[in-house]
Amino acid sequence: MPKTMQQATCYAVMESPIGRLSILADVHGIQEIRFPNNTSTLPAEGSASNKFIVQAIDQLNTYFDGNLKKFDLPLSLKGTDFQKDVWGQLQRVGYGATASYKDIASAIGNPKASRAVGMANNKNKIPIVIPCHRIIGSDGSLTGFAGGLDVKRWLLAHENRQSALLLESSEH
């Protein structure tokens, strides 16, 4: 059955402090956020933006401005139940905080699944919104990241800067 325009994936591109992001969505929500280093082909059909992309761009801009701590976007997730459990737990890691793969494995009730959590983290197609950049090694080291370690470092520093500014302003 051919895709109708209503079912097609739409996309838009936005400029951000970490480079050009491509945002893809369908009629259910955001499907993917691609970093500048992602060379995957964008969909040819249904390229017009939709309301979910408009919301995502607005929220991402607000996040990059330091005024959004938690995203509230409809997501169109495609993955296994395990992956979706991991991604759900990633969304519970607070702004400016970090957790290890082991922490996430324990939180989903499978403490020996650190490696599987890492693989699920790697399959997250909606970074920043599902904050996989907040997941680090048990020893505190930065581990692989689809956008590159420089982008991961930038996102963590951005959140820590904003958290420090909030703390500073609340003390005065």
Question: Which H or E run contains 80?
Answer: none
- Kindly report the number of other CB atoms within 10 A of residue 101's CB atom: 22
The DSSP-derived string for 16-43 is: ETTEEEEEEEETTEEEEEE-TT--PPPP
DSSP percent split of the chain into helix, strand, coil, nearest 5: 40, 15, 45
Are 59 and 73 a contacting pair, CB within 8 Å? Answer: yes
Question: Which H or E run contains 169?
Answer: helix 149-171
**Spatial separation of the C-alpha atoms in residues 17 and 165, rounded to whole Å:** 19
* Strands 135-136, 99-100: pairing kind: parallel
Active-site residue numbers? 132
